[in-house]
Each structure stands twice: as structure tokens, then as C-alpha cells.
Amino acid sequence: MSPDPVPKPSQQTPHQPGQPGFEHVPGTDPIGGQAARMFSAEMGKREKRKGRRGDVNAVVPDAEFRSYYGRAVLKPPVWTHDIAYYLFSGGLAAGSSMLAAVATARGDVAARRALRITSLGAVGASAYFLIIDLGRPERFYNMLRVAKPTSPMSVGTWILTAYGPLAGAAAVFEAAPLLPERGVLGLARKVAGPLGHVLGAGAALTAPLLATYTAVLFADTAVPSWHEPFRELPFVFSGSALASGAGAALVLAPVSQTGPASRLAVIGATVELAAAHRMETAHGLVSEPFHLGRPGKFLKAARALTALGAVGAVLGRRSRVAAAAAGASLLAGSFLTRMAVFEAGVASTKDPKYVVVPQRERLEARERAS
């Protein structure tokens, strides 16, 4: 048998410690020396990186926030503008019921009748827009199969269900004077008046819940420009509802019966404008969408129309034309406020900085506090 061929030098396996042929030179440690050199090189790289971060003249700039491939962190809400219309119509219904209760207490029959009919039409529109957004009418029925106090959507469904029949029946009973005075229908005519007052009072008591539950619903989401101003949104929505109800009274009621509407218009507009101003300015970066694009334009127009309507309600309460113009201005301002809030929330989900930057700021604040 021929001996095995001797491998070429390039094919020879280097000797390792403990193997035959390994020669150790005193004062040297090949393995330890290599590890030491690798460790020193790594530490040198770290020191260079630390130096670059602290050096204003460094070639490599500090890292800036950037999301994954520029994609949004949150998905935009699936709600359409039907929800914005739902917000306005629900607020108008609530405000009209509250103003109708005031008119009932004062004996202003024409104002009471106009406001009750307005509340019926508005709550009908509100239910329509909600069902349109749900997609199928039976989904609204399915929401009534459970009652979850911890769910703003479930609570709101029951509020709307309680308010609707009260406001609707109170408005229908306004037709009682059209019934004959004698016979069975005459008896119904006598009963309808007091019963309508009771139902109208029930609607007025439920109205503040209807006006504000949507604010809680919005604030309970992860949408930055809805979640952060959770303290201001109920005041924005309630003030807007009161202003819109007063606007409806100024448009529809006789001038002689619009005194309470004028005063409540000022109160509602003041609450709405003050809360909206804080919502726009008190939350740093998250308040930015309220100033930009369509939401910013809507909110500026809403602010101007609401203020103009409140001033007109006071100065023009003796003029039918001026009162109607002030009422229309208040209604338009309320509508644009709801549109601005809705669109600002949608816009805040499309830019990841509105999600990540506030989170980092809160984390840094907690670290400094600890």
C-alpha cells in the first residue's frame, strides 16, 4: 500500500493547543492575545460612538424618530363622516330638549312646540346616521341585547334608546290641540298636554347624557387627538349642544319667546369656546392636528361663527331677522366644531409622531420623577 499523500502547506490544519506538533513560545498566549485584541477593538468602537453622540461636530448625526418604513402606528378609525353628522344631530336633539323644558316652565307654547319637533327630527336623523354607520339595522338591535357599564358604546346605545321615545312622544303630543274637544278624542286631548310635559321633562333630564356620552366614547379610544383631551371634550360637546339648541330656538321661535335662548346661547358658546381653546393648546404635539389642514379651517370657522352667533343673540334679540341669523350662525358653528374634532382625530392617526413622541415624553417624565 502506498502511503497517504502529504497535504500541501495551504491544506494543512493549524495545530491547536494540546495537539501534537503545537509549540508554545514562552511569554506568549495566542488564544488569550487574540481575545484581548478583539475586546480592545470593540471597546474602542464603543468609545468612538459615545464620543460622536456627545460631539456637536460629529460626522454621524443623532438618530431622529422614524417609524417602520414611515408607516402609521395606528390604523385610522373606520368611522365615516356619518359619525360626525351623528354627533351634531345628537347634540342638537339634546340641546333642543333642554330649551324645550325651559320654554315649558315659562309657558312659551310656540317655542316649546318648535323645540320639541326639532328634537324629534334631530334624534331621528341621529339614529339614521348611526344605523348607516353600523351597516345593517339589526346591529343596533343586537347592541341592546347586552348592557355593559364599562363600554361607552353600550351605555350610549341605551341612552339613545331611552331618550328617543321620550322626545318623540313629547313631540307627537304637541298635535293634541288638533283633536276635537268632545268625546274620546277630547279626553285624549286633555290627557296629552300634561303627559307631554312629563315626557318632555324626562327627555330634558336624559339630554345631558346624550350630549356628552359621545365625548366619552371618543376619549376612550387610542386616537391621540381624541384621547388626550378627555377632560375638555365633554365640555366642548355639551356647550356645542346647548348653543345649537339655542340656535334652533332663535330661528324657529317668536322673538318675544327667545329671551332664555339668547342667554343660554351665550352660556353654551362660552363653554364651547373655552373648552375648545384649551383642547387646542394644552396638549402639546397632540393638539397640532386641530391647527392644520381641514380640521384647522373647520375649527377657525366654528370659533368665528359661534362667537358671532352669541353676540347676535344678545344684540339682535328684538329683530326677527337678526335673531334668525344669529341662530343659523350658532347651528353652523356647532356643526363645524363636530367636524373639526372628528377630522383632527383621524389626522392624528396617520402620522406616527402623534403616537410615539408623547409616549417618550411621558416615559422621560416618569424617569425624571423617579
Could you tell me if residue 17 is inside a domain?
no
Q: In 282-352, which ranges are continuous DSSP H helix?
A: 293-315, 320-350
320 is written with which cell numbers? 326677527
Give the pLDDT of residue 210. 94
Give the pLDDT of residue 296. 94
**Position with higher pLDDT, 40 vs 325:** 325
Give the pLDDT of residue 6. 52
Please compute the mean of the pLDDT values over residues 95-109 and round it to a whole number.
94
Could you tell me if residue 26 is inside a domain?
no
How high does pLDDT run on average in the chain? Answer: 83
Q: Is the pLDDT of residue 19 over 60?
A: no
Please compute the mean of the pLDDT values over residues 65-87 and round it to a whole number.
77
Query: Would you place residue 325 in the very low, low, confident or very high pLDDT band (cuts 50, 70, 90)?
Result: very high
Could you tell me if residue 319 is inside a domain?
yes
Could you tell me if residue 48 is inside a domain?
no
Burial class (CB in 10 A: 0-12, 13-18, 19+), 20: exposed
Could you tell me if residue 40 is inside a domain?
no
Is 0.85 topped by the overall pTM? no
Please compute the mean of the pLDDT values over residues 45-61 and round it to a whole number.
52
Give the list of residues 6+ apart from residue 172 with CB closer than 8 angstroms, or none: 120
Q: Is the pLDDT of residue 9 over 80?
A: no
Query: Would you place residue 37 in the very low, low, confident or very high pLDDT band (cuts 50, 70, 90)?
Result: low
Could you tell me if residue 134 is inside a domain?
yes
Query: Would you place residue 67 in the very low, low, confident or very high pLDDT band (cuts 50, 70, 90)?
Result: low
Render pLDDT for 198-257 as a digit per residue (tens, 0 to 9).
999 999 999 999 999 999 999 998 899 999 999 999 999 999 999 999 999 999 999 999
Could you tell me if residue 171 is inside a domain?
yes
Could you tell me if residue 5 is inside a domain?
no
C-alpha 290 chain-centroid distance: 11
Q: How many domains, in total, are found in the chain?
A: 1
CATH code: domain of residue 87: 1.20.1630.10
Give the pLDDT of residue 184. 79
Give the pLDDT of residue 370. 78
Segments forming the whole domain that contains residue 255: 73-350
- The amino acid present at 353, given as its one-letter code, is K
C-alpha 13/C-alpha 22 separation (Å) is 11
Give the pLDDT of residue 4. 54
Give the pLDDT of residue 5. 54
C-alpha 260/C-alpha 84 separation (Å) is 28
